[in-house]
Amino acid sequence: MMCIQSLLLMLLCVGVFSVEVQRPRGVPSWKRQFYEEGKPFTCLDGSRTIPFDRVNDDYCDCKDGSDEPGTAACPNGSFYCTNAGFRSTFIPSSRINDGVCDCCDTTDEYNSGAACQNTCREMGQKEREVMEKMAEIAKEGFHLKQQLIQEAKKSLEEKKTKMTDVQVNKKDLEEKVEALRTVKEAAEQPEKEAKERHLKAWEDNKALIRMEKDKARMAEVFLELDDNDDGFVSVAELLSHAEFDSDSDGTFTEEEAQGILGGVEKVDTLGFESIWNNVKERYVSETATDAAAPAEMPQEEIREPVPDNDSEHYPDDDIPEDEDEDDEDDEDDDPDDDYKTPPTTQTQEPKDDVDEGPMPPYDEETQLLIDSAQKARDEFDEAERALREVDDQIKNLEKEISFDFGPGLEFAYLYSQCYELTTSEYIYRLCPFNRVSQKPKYGGSETNLGTWGKWAGPEGDVYSAMKYEHGTGCWQGPNRSTTVKLTCGKETVVTSTSEPSRCEYLMEFTSPAACQEPSNSVSEHEHQEL
């Protein structure tokens, strides 16, 4: 802001008080003292001293080019454009008399014949108008900044007060959570015991049912094996059951049968109970064996062709449904070639659990205990959730209170806000103190261009730039990052984006918070030039 006003003042003074000072062509007024006509000239780098008539003689005598300020003789020389009514400036001496008007006062083309016109006053007028507008914007922006600072300070005090209240609330909630935890644990203990009793009763009942079924099955098998109904199961009676062939060699011997009976020739019902576990795993019911008997027909008979009058006159797709079903039944009934492997998997008894059904409902007393415990859990969970929300609130408040929002908290209003800029291809989104992102304008996934890192302005003006780092990685490149340059403006808006280097983005952002206090002072150097 100070530079803007100083430059504006300088332009006004130049327009009114411009005075022609006699000095060699191309020399600024503040260097006039080094060019005294009639006295030897010493190169400004001190390298040598030459007669004054060799200044601007179109021959370069000094290494620094200072003896030829008004000609193009020295490649490293510079020419001073006075530009009365506008801003004075230096141009490379190579542009002197090159046919192109570089100085608005035309002094660089004094011997080229170029048709230059002095446009300094018009340019100065336009620039003064622009500078006046900028000064007005800066003034209004700084006024808005002062309001932002006052609002931020007020908001900070409110946050601190709120922090105190929330911390008190947290303490109350912690006590409430602990009290409800005790209630919950007290309610869950009898619930747990009642559930365990109910489960144990169900398991005991299932075990009793299984045991009764097992006994009934054992008695049934005993009767099936006792072919002569003498009340004993003998070795001879077992020999008709090839499924007991333990080594599956196709021969079921008396020794193997006796081994199943526990080493004796026969057993009664009591003895059969002691060997039942060995028998029930292998035994194939005689009823199941009888049902499987038709399947033992020779393979040739099964595959015997159907008479011509039944099939030849039907295409494959037109065979009557009854015949299709008969064929499927025949395929299902195909037996194994022999009994070398006991077909235990085909005759396994249905699992007992199938008949036991689901666990019965809880009795009224147990259900009341469950409901009471559930109510205590719900109340405890709700209190815990409220406590977590308070913890999050405290963390957010602590972050906002301690965050560096500028010397006067002027940037605090940007917190939790987001600003967008739409270009021909992308939508850029800046969320100050959070992240920067880029999304294709016509659909596609969002790309993270960096998350908040730090203030990154130069020394003495650190709050003039923000740095966002560790964004989405580029293909075979670094992670994306963004530098946000802040400039003074009445509005808060993203004005432009660019990618100066691969995966490194630059964003221009205007904000009243970036406006500096107006100043009417003019530097000593500017006084000298005026």
State the DSSP string of 432-471: TTTEEEEEETTS---EEEEEEEEE-PPTT-GGGEEEEE--
SS3 content of the chain, % helix, strand, coil (to 5): 50, 15, 35
Q: Are residues 140 and 155 in the same domain?
A: yes
Q: Is 231 left (phi over 0), alpha (psi -120 to 50) or beta?
A: left
CATH number of the domain encompassing residue 416: 2.70.130.10
Structure tokens at 285: 């019911």
Q: Is 88 found in the same domain as 131?
A: no
**Residue 519, in any domain of the structure:** no
Which CATH number belongs to the domain containing residue 247 in this structure? 1.10.238.10
Q: Which residues have CB under 8 Å from 218's CB, separation 6+?
A: 272, 273, 276, 280
Residues 92 and 64 in one domain: yes
Residue 54 is encoded by which pair of tokens? 């060799």
* Whether the Cβ atoms of residue 313 and residue 298 lie closer than 8 Å to each other: no
Q: What's at 322, amino acid-wise?
A: D
Q: Is 111 among the domain residues?
A: yes
Whether residues 63 and 108 fall in one domain: yes
Query: Would strands 504-511 and 493-501 be described as parallel, antiparallel, or unpaired?
Result: antiparallel
Q: Which of 258, 281, 304 is the last residue of a domain?
A: 281
Question: Within a domain: residue 288?
Answer: no
Cα separation, 275 vs 221, in Å, equals 12
Number of domains in the chain: 3
Q: Which two tokens stand for residue 448?
A: 């993270």
Among the listed residues 368, 369, 362, the one whose alpha carbon sits nearest the alpha carbon of residue 190: 369
Q: What per-residue confidence (pLDDT) applies to 290?
A: 53
**Burial (CB count within 10 angstroms: exposed 0-12, middle 13-18, buried 19+), residue 249:** exposed
Residues 135 and 262 in one domain: yes
Which among 499, 402, 507 has a CA at the least distance from the CA of 465? Answer: 507
Residue 133 lies in a domain: yes
Give helix 120-225 / helix 2-17 axis angle, nearest 10°: 160
Residue 490's φ and ψ, nearest 5 degrees, are -75, -25
Q: Are 302 and 334 contacting, i.e. CB atoms less than 8 angstroms apart?
A: yes
Pairing mode of beta strands 426-431, 435-440: antiparallel
Q: Are residues 148 and 234 in the same domain?
A: yes
Q: Is residue 449 part of a domain?
A: yes
Residue pair 105/81 in contact by the 8 Å Cβ criterion? yes
The pLDDT score that the predictor gives to residue 301 is: 43
Give the pLDDT confidence score for residue 357 in this predicted structure: 75
Report yes or no on 345 lying in a domain.
no
Residues 151 and 185 in one domain: yes
Tell me what pLDDT residue 323 has.
Answer: 43
Extract long-range pairs of 98-105: CB within 8 Å, 24+ residues apart: 98/72, 103/79, 105/81
The Cα–Cα gap between 98 and 201 comes to: 110
Q: Residue 325's pLDDT is what?
A: 44
Residues 70 and 131 reside in one and the same domain: no
Among 232, 271, 240, 277, which Cα is nearest to 257's?
A: 240
User: 199 with 106, same domain?
Assistant: no
User: Exposed, middle or buried: residue 250 (CB in 10 Å: 0-12, 13-18, 19+)?
Assistant: exposed
Does some domain include residue 444? yes
From 522, 518, 523, 526, select the one nearest 135 (Cα to Cα): 518
Ordered mean pLDDT values, 10 residues apiece, the chain (530 residues):
48 43 83 90 93 93 93 93 92 93 92 91 88 84 91 92 93 95 95 94 90 90 86 84 77 81 86 84 69 47 44 41 45 42 42 65 93 96 95 92 92 94 94 96 92 94 95 92 94 94 95 84 40
Say if 50 falls within a structural domain.
yes
Relative to beta strand 419-422, strand 266-267 is unpaired
Question: According to the model, what pLDDT value does residue 288 have?
Answer: 56
Are 88 and 165 members of one domain?
no
Which of the listed residues 91, 117, 143 is the one where a domain comes to its end?
Answer: 117
252 lies in the same domain as 135: yes
**Gap between the terminal Cα atoms of the chain:** 20
- Reading the block at residue 138, the tokens are 């800066």
Q: DSSP of 268-324, one letter per residue?
A: -HHHHHHHHHHHHTT---HHHHHHHGGGGS-HHHHTPPPPHHHHTTS-GGGS-HHHH
Long-range CB pairs of 475-478, under 8 A, 24+ apart, other chains included: 477/502, 477/503, 478/503
From the list 353, 363, 303, the residue with the least C-alpha distance to 333 is: 303
For residue 224, how many C-alpha atoms fall within 13 Å in the half-sphere facing its CB? 18
133 and 264 assigned to the same domain: yes
Domain that holds residue 79: 21-117
Last residue of a domain, one of 232, 266, 281: 281
